[in-house]
């Protein structure tokens, strides 16, 4: 009898999760989303022994790490990444097809909105922004819907798109930095004047010696680790100013660190500047976690940290070490395509509108007005690109599903393609080769491709109902929103294609 009892107790222990799963009706006080712009997954191990115990090492040591989180679309760029994290879907559904893309035949910045005005500065162009170009809802939108719009949802970043798109359509507010005046601003999409706590914060910014020095020199604060410190300070100010996590319903804070991307583009993935950016970010992250502990209470908030994309190593650095890499695009490529088309069809006006993130946009109006056949123009352009050096594949976006392509390229192209916004032709360069235009830094880097250096990103969960652990199972950037919504027991965003990562909350398949 005693042996049977012990056997039953042992069986019960084996079936009991190591930690309590979220139950219906249970929710954290606050959800915090942290995005580190251009953070490669391998930076977690590269800097691990230099990190403090309060920042990244706290998340790794006490949280749950998804070590094989991949971006499942092309191209891998900032606006798409931030949108996909919070909507749980891809450009095919959420419509944010790049930092810039063509909409109704016109080149459009992802958050441009001429119907709104700036709030907090006289720099009107910097503030005419909103999430209206985004076609899907976000985690924050679903949280607001679930609580009859009682939840507060705030977005904070140096970049407008990194504050606006994560926070969603129904956000309480999104704040981004006017890089000229070095003040946090917003638009009339959210409010008509800044709250007093934001005005007070901006006054402190004005008095800060380091900020004043950058402003006086007319420098870009994004090129300094100070940008991350200022972003953290603003996030903490929002936490306290809006009393996030203090109410009867769950609130959300979306924080994006952009200096890592600005510095990476300028000075690449290696060197003292990149090192300094990540080591300072670690300290700032520690300060944010401490503020969350004090304001909301340890264990009362659910936090995730990820990246919108990674980055390639600088091609010259790779070549110096006998590794394959180089420039794919040059400024004359578009002119060469137009010349090839004109030679065969005799048109007098250019018909290639632009190249954005290795995607070519044909000018359908110019094609029609010159009596040209669109399919014929496209076929000539594709053949020209196929003859270009260091090109792996050229994809007719509209026909990607039926083309002879490796599944990894076909599937990611399809998920990255919105037929009204993504252009006509996608170029996939050889591994290590990337687009290099007139404004590219010769010692810097970029991103945008399907390859692991661009598409393998960190994903850490920490806090409420999250126990220590890790998985090497392949998960995707689109699974983040599904996981958070599953844990909160709220509906997923309305175009979500992700699947909840059950290991995070202790659930089993």
Tokens encoding 31: 């959800």
Residue for token pair 């390229």: 409
Strands 64-66 and 469-471: parallel
Calpha distance 333→396 (Å, rounded): 18
Q: Which helix (H) or strand (E) holds 380?
A: helix 374-386
Tokens encoding 152: 């507060």
Our measurement of the distance from residue 284's CA atom to the centroid of its chain's CA atoms, rounded to an integer in Å, reads 19
Which strands sit side by side in the sheet containing 425-429, from one edge to the other? Answer: 352-356, 359-362, 425-429, 391-396
Q: Which helix (H) or strand (E) holds 200?
A: helix 196-207
Residue pair 472/335 in contact (Cβ under 8 Å)? The answer is no
Q: Per the residue annotation, which of 16, 52, 76, 78 is the catalytic one?
A: 78
Beta strands in 386-497 (DSSP E): 391-396, 425-429, 433-434, 456-457, 459-463, 469-471, 475-476
For the chain, first and last CA: distance in Å? 33
Phi, psi of 409 (to 5 degrees): -80, -50
Active site residue 229: no
Residue 64, SS3?
Answer: strand
Catalytic residues: 78
């Amino acid at each position: 009898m005693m042996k049977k009892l012990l056997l039953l107790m042992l069986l019960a222990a084996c079936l009991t999760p190591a930690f309590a799963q979220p139950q219906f009706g249970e929710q954290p006080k606050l959800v915090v989303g942290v995005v580190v712009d251009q953070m490669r997954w391998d930076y977690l191990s590269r800097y691990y022994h230099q990190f403090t115990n309060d920042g990244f090492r706290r998340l790794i040591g006490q949280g749950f790490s998804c070590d094989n989180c991949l971006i499942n679309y092309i191209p891998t760029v900032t606006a798409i990444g931030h949108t996909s994290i919070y909507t749980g879907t891809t450009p095919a559904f959420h419509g944010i097809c790049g930092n810039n893309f063509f909409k109704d035949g016109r080149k459009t910045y992802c958050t441009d909105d001429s119907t709104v005005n700036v709030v907090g500065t006289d720099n009107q162009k910097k503030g005419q922004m909103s999430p209206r170009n985004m076609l899907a809802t976000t985690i924050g939108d679903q949280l607001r819907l679930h609580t009859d719009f009682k939840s507060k949802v705030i977005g904070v970043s140096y970049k407008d798109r990194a504050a606006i798109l994560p926070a969603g359509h129904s956000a309480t507010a999104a704040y981004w930095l006017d890089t000229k005046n070095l003040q946090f601003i917003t638009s009339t999409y959210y409010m008509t004047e800044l709250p007093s706590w934001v005005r007070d914060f901006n006054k402190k910014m004005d008095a800060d010696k380091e900020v004043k020095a950058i402003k006086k020199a007319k420098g870009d604060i994004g090129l300094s680790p100070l940008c991350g410190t200022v972003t953290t300070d603003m996030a903490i100010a929002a936490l306290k100013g809006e009393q996030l996590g203090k109410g009867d319903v769950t609130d959300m804070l979306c924080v994006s660190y952009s200096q890592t991307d600005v510095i990476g583009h300028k000075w690449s993935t290696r060197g003292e500047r990149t090192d300094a950016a990540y080591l300072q970010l670690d300290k700032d992250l520690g300060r944010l976690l401490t503020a969350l502990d004090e304001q909301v209470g340890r264990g009362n908030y659910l936090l995730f940290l990820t990246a919108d994309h990674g980055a390639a190593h600088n091609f010259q650095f790779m070549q110096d070490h006998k590794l394959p890499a180089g420039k794919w695009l040059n400024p004359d490529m578009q002119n060469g395509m137009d010349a090839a088309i004109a030679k065969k069809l005799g048109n007098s006006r250019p018909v290639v509108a632009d190249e954005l993130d290795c995607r070519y946009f044909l000018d359908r109006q110019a094609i029609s007005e010159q009596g040209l056949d669109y399919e014929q123009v496209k076929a000539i352009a594709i053949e020209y690109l196929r003859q270009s050096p260091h090109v792996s594949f050229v994809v007719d976006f509209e026909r990607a599903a039926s083309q002879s392509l490796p599944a990894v390229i076909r599937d990611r192209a399809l998920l990255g393609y919105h037929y009204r916004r993504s252009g006509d032709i996608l170029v996939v360069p050889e591994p290590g080769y990337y687009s290099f235009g007139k404004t590219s830094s010769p010692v810097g880097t970029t991103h945008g491709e399907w390859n692991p250096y661009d598409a393998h990103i960190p994903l850490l969960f920490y806090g409420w109902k999250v126990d220590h652990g890790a998985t090497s199972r392949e998960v995707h950037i689109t699974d983040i929103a599904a996981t958070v919504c599953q844990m909160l027991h709220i509906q997923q965003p309305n175009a979500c294609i992700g699947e909840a990562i059950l290991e995070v909350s202790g659930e089993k398949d």
